[in-house]
Structure 1
Amino acid sequence: MIDFIPLEFYQYYYINTALVIVIFTMLHSWVLELDDYKNILYIKTIGYLLLILILLYIGLRPVSGRYFADMRTYSNTFEYYANGGDLKTDKDVFFQLITKFCAEIMTVNAYFLMCAVLYIVPMYRVSKAFFKEYWFYSFLMFLVSFSFWSYGVNGIRNGLATSMFLWAISFYEKKPLMIAFMILSMLFHKTLLLPILAFSLTFLHNKSKTYLIFWIAAIPLSIALGSFWESLFASLGFADDRLSGYLTNESAGRSGFRYDFLFYSSFPVIAGWFYIFKKDFQDKLYHHIFNTYLITNAFWILVIRANFSNRFAYLSWFLMGLIIIYPLLKEQFHKHQHIVIGQILVAYFSFTYLMFTIYYAR
């Protein structure tokens, strides 16, 4: 357990270490070509070092409900099972089974390390599977995403579920494995039914223009009709009683239309539009992923005023970094493409850094 770092500085060290790595990577892009041997050596070395360090840093953090929110709840459940408690069957039984099993054979610190492995390693796996020796850029995009920290230390079940989804699409060429891991993701958290259904829909219709129109239309529809969509989806009992509660519960107040988050959500939309429609990027898998994002993010836009709407947003946000960087690691689009990759890393991370250091620091 890493207990020599004051808890109040845990997130501070993460965000500023990420800043140093992003800036250093951008500087590399200015002086070396993407396929230069020195650059390949750098991204391989820093990539594996970063993978190990982030696993240990998140996985061995002390148990705290004050600084890591729901971590205390997970810890209490673990201790309940360690003391011989009966299996809880009221929600996400598969995750409860895993926790109960772990409580019988390991300590709570080992349990959270295992959760970190299951959360982070799939990000490495999908990056390595898609981009080979350039996997570091994709992996770094995952690690500097706005939601990465929150779902690694707080909304752990959600984070594990979306990582299982990422692992699933890494088996795109092996459909039985892909389906198995998608089912596994839903067993971790039932809300993954939405991206799974969206991804499945793209196999029936994979035209990005259709889904882009749907995404754009969701904005005025949400502004004009407001709570209508929240009541509609809640009445349908969408996948999870807890999410229905978030849609209709007024006790915590309404969050209002989050234009800042809509702006953030537009990053992969703009990237996908540019490479698909302007650069004619014809990659079937990329279209599947991009269209899945458009569908799930449009759903969030419709219920954007709901309490805890970030829980809906994360059902699309976990794909953001992958969508933005994917084309640049697959084809040559720009004369100085390595510089473009460095600039995109900085621009993408800037939102995360500013939100943590300015918005949430108030």
Structure 2
Amino acid sequence: MFDWIPVEFYIAIQYNILLLVLLIIIANSWVYDVRDQQSLQFFQILGVSLTVFMILYMGQRQINYRFGDTVNYNKAYKIMLSGESFKIEKDYLFNYMMLYCSKIMSIHGFLQLCSVLYMVPCYLFSKKYFGNYWFFAMFMFMVSFSFWAYGVNGVRNGLGTSMFLLALVFYQRKWLMYALFGVSYFMHASLVIPIAAFIVSGLYKNPKAYLVIWLLAIPLSLAGGSAWSTFFANLGFAEDRTQGYLTGGSEEYNNQFSQTGFRWDFLLYSASAVVAGWYFIFKKNITDKFYVHLFGTYCIANAFWILVITAAFSNRFAYLSWFLMPAVIAYPMFRYKIWDNQYKIFGVIIFLYFMFTYFMNVIL
């Protein structure tokens, strides 16, 4: 569908379209109140249009190395199409889904299906918890730093996180929520980290403890360095690929792009959600049960990433908390009256949030 777009400009185009939408949001926030019915109707139409566009734009991408692991999924798909033996030993749900799809659709159909499964849970989560203001949450998901990357590169990981969000839609129906957590785990085994964080933060409902855990992770990571990566790699929960991400010990993983060292820029990015949660819970006294649970899950999962931040592929673990950032930052602003001119302040916040993404993906 989008083959006519030069592949070298493909990613930048979607970020510039999102930048244009951001400017519309900011302009609207300085003229209208967030409760203005005309504005809400406009953003309903814009939201549906942008969501459909992003699903198609992501799903109909070309098979090209610029989209990371897309080329590897294509190779695996060709093996399945040929009828050759394909041994499945991990991420069973994703791999069996790929195997089944290879019998009835092309690789482009499969990638489009993955795009739908990636985006729709974000939409359902936004509709569930933001109501008429769902577009603003959905837009924050779209402009998150790694959102595009985990829709076209780390697809299994991205689908796992989306299934986790879908599980949270059924927060009041525990059996269904935990069943969907199981789905997310079998999409990508690394989801054991946010699932464990969710369980721990649900058993011990003390946001101060989550904050302390997150803060302590920084000096512990600086002091321990790569020892933490080795420690977690040797634990029983880490399957082969996860061990490879932690240790970078095989050529299979060394062929993938990552940056090593203590990433202060990424730490500051992560801290924005922690600061937001601290402000809303401790300064504005937001005691919403779901929000406190969400904040605890984010802090624990992000603390794990901080401990292994120097690992060769720690970016794979960063997204296991980063996918929750839009909810942690935006949830209170569209559920509670916190400031005068709240819509304008949100416009500023989302501008700063997106600018990090734009700078890292387009300018650099």
Are 2:138 and 1:133 aligned? no
TM-superposed deviation, 1:90: 2.8
Equivalence for 1:321: 326
Equivalence for 1:282: 287
Secondary structure of the equivalent of 2:287? coil
Equivalence for 1:343: 348
Are 2:311 and 1:312 aligned? no
1:321 and 1:268 map into 2 onto residues whose CA distance is 8
After TM superposition, the score normalised by the length of structure 2 is 0.96
Give the ranges of 4+ consecutive aligned residues of structure 1 lying more than 6 Å apart after TM superposition: none
Equivalence for 1:302: 307
Letter in 1 for 2:288: D
1:176 and 1:248 map into 2 onto residues whose CA distance is 36
Are 2:360 and 1:355 aligned? yes
TM-superposed deviation, 1:213: 0.4
Q: Select which of 243, 259, 265 maps to 2:264.
A: 259
Q: Select which of 311, 318, 336 maps to 1:331.
A: 336
Letter in 1 for 2:311: A
Letter in 2 for 1:22: L
Q: Percent identity?
A: 46
Equivalence for 2:186: 187
Letter in 2 for 1:59: G
Secondary structure of the equivalent of 1:124? helix
TM-superposed deviation, 1:250: 5.5
After TM superposition, the score normalised by the length of structure 1 is 0.96
Equivalence for 1:73: 72
TM-superposed deviation, 1:240: 2.1
2:355 and 2:224 map into 1 onto residues whose CA distance is 32
Equivalence for 1:28: 28
2:233 and 2:12 map into 1 onto residues whose CA distance is 37
TM-superposed deviation, 1:254: 7.5
List aligned pairs for 1:47-86, cutoff 5 A: 47-64=47-64, 66-86=65-85
**What are the superposed Cα offsets for residues 296-318 of structure 1, whole Å, 9 maximum, x if unpaired?**
10011011000011001111011
Decide whether the 8 Å contact of 1:88 with 1:96 is kept in 2: no
Equivalent residues, number:
358
**What are the superposed Cα offsets for residues 72-92 of structure 1, whole Å, 9 maximum, x if unpaired?**
111111121122133422321
**What are the superposed Cα offsets for residues 238-261 of structure 1, whole Å, 9 maximum, x if unpaired?**
432212122223675981111010
Decide whether the 8 Å contact of 2:245 with 2:316 is kept in 1: no
Decide whether the 8 Å contact of 1:256 with 1:304 is kept in 2: yes
Decide whether the 8 Å contact of 2:163 with 2:180 is kept in 1: yes
Decide whether the 8 Å contact of 1:193 with 1:239 is kept in 2: no
Secondary structure of the equivalent of 1:88? coil
Root-mean-square deviation (CA), in Å? 1.3
Judging changes above 3 Å, is the alpha-carbon distance between structure 1 residues 254 and 12 closer, same or farther for their aligned structure 2 residues? closer
Structure 2: where are the runs of 5+ without partners?
none
